[in-house]
Amino acid sequence: MKIVMVDLQAQYRRLRSEIDEAMQEVLHSAQFIRGPQVKEFSDALSRYLHGAYAVPCGNGTDALQIALMALDLQPDDEVILPAFTYAAAAEVTHLLRLQPRFVDAGEDFNIDVAKIEEAVTSKTKAIIPVHHFGQTSKMDAILNMAQKHNLFVIEDNAQSLGADYFSAEGARKAGTIGDIGTTSFFPTKNLACFGDGGAMITQNQELAKKLAMIANHGQQKKYYHEIIGVNSRLDTLQAAVLKTKLQYLDDFNHRRRTAADQYDFRLKEISEIKLPVRNAHSSHVFHQYVIQTEKRDALQKFLADNEIPSMIYYPLPLPFQPAYQNARYKKGRFPRAEKLSAAVLSLPIHTEMNEAMVDYICDAIVKFFKTKS
């Protein structure tokens, strides 16, 4: 059986007629930049997110940069970030001459809310919780902390679009809870286009205007530049693809969750594997299915020998990356992030996964632990 991490080819084959038609429309109109599909998509995304403003841009990293630019932070202001995460948030923080303050991971792979306060100083102005692998961070605790210390909250929602966050206020969509949410439509994300794409999300109309302006060279009126901006656009072709696929996002996420449930069921008997924690405060859209095991490297090799791919997200916590370290951090400073980096393994999960595939992968994993234990 042929197993891949993410089956983009099979998903395209299944949705081909609709997607081709949407793309053909753009090709015939030749409005490749700022065509009507861009607004149609952002309006549809806004409706999907219960009415929050959605501002499209070039990719998920730009979305984070533009979000930070819109908050008018000053050089050396501090931004709190998870230690265990993808590079994007730390990268744009440094680019804007802001200072990252890293916080260790919790059980659920997201920022450990119990450790945020000790990272706050008089210079801290913002926090970027990253909603890892498909479920939200503990937003109530984060919002309380933000209110207490007057911090902006930017949710990096590149991996959890469509997840619901449950609190006393009811269910809210991931990415619509903080001041700004950001997301990515990179081809392997839960809602994905055929290249790069991204968006910023906010409940605040003024902020939405400012985000759109920054993404468009700081102008509202052409050739009149009010603030410093960047060039970060979602192409019309990508918007046409996304508009078509957005209708299937809940179904995509359901398919991922079904595969995750089957993994849980098959792997729960293996004492040497820790299954992904599922938070009660969030639904899970399983961007990744991440197990932990002390035999991670040997398991990955065994799977590879059996032509089953797997990935390590993330192999080195950000504070220890040569590009971001401020020389302050010693080994052992982020115990959970360091432990996770040595133990996590992402198994194949995608919208075209079927029971036979999950069984095939789990049979191999069971066999590994039977023979190596």
Ligand X SMILES: *Cc1c(COP(=O)(O)O)cnc(C)c1O
Residues that bind ligand X (CB under 6 A): 59-61, 86, 88, 130, 156, 158-159, 184, 186, 196, 198
Q: Where are the alpha helices (DSSP H) in the chain?
A: 8-29, 36-48, 60-70, 88-95, 139-149, 205-215, 236-246, 249-267, 296-305, 335-343, 355-372
Nearer to ligand X, 53 or 86 (CB): 86
Q: Which helix (H) or strand (E) holds 327?
A: none
* Closer CB to ligand X, 104 or 156, in the complex: 156
Whose Cβ is closer to ligand X: residue 49's or residue 267's? 49
The alpha carbon of 241 is separated from its chain's Cα centroid by a whole number of angstroms, namely: 19
Q: In this chain, which residue has its C-beta nearest to ligand X? A: 60
Query: How many whole angstroms separate alpha carbon 207 and alpha carbon 215?
Result: 12
Distance CA(275)–CA(277), nearest Å, equals 6
Minimum CB separation of residue 85 from ligand X in Å reads 6
In the complex with ligand X, the residue whose CB is nearer, 109 or 368, is 109
CB of 156 to ligand X, least distance (A): 5
Our CB check for ligand X shows the closer of 23 and 130 to be: 130
Question: What is the number of H-type helices and E-type strands within the chain?
Answer: 11, 13
Which CB sits closer to ligand X, 90 or 145?
A: 90
DSSP letter for each residue of 99-145 = EEEEE-B-TTSSB-GGGTGGG--TTEEEE--B--TTS---HHHHHHH
Q: At 183, which amino acid appears?
A: T
d(CA 171, CA 182): 19
**CB contact at 8 A, 116 and 148:** no
Closest to ligand X by CB, 144 vs 321, is 321
| CA neighbor of 10 nearest in space, from 261, 2, 303 | 2
80 or 357: CB nearest ligand X: 80
Instruction: Region of 97 please: left (phi>0), alpha (psi -120 to 50) or beta.
Output: left
Contact yes or no for 364/306 (Cβ under 8 A):
yes
CB of 198 to ligand X, least distance (A): 5
Other C-beta atoms lying within 10 Å of the C-beta of residue 37: 25
CB of 37 to ligand X, least distance (A): 19
Please identify which residue in the block is written with the tokens 């595939």. Answer: 357
Minimum distance from CB of 136 to ligand X (Å)? 13
> The tokens of 144 are what?
């309380």
Least distance (Å) from ligand X to the CB of residue 220?
A: 25
Minimal distance in Å, beta carbon 89 to ligand X? 6
Using the minimum distance from each CB to ligand X, give the nearer residue, 68 or 299: 68
CB of 48 to ligand X, least distance (A): 19
In angstroms, what is the minimal distance from the CB of 97 to ligand X? 20
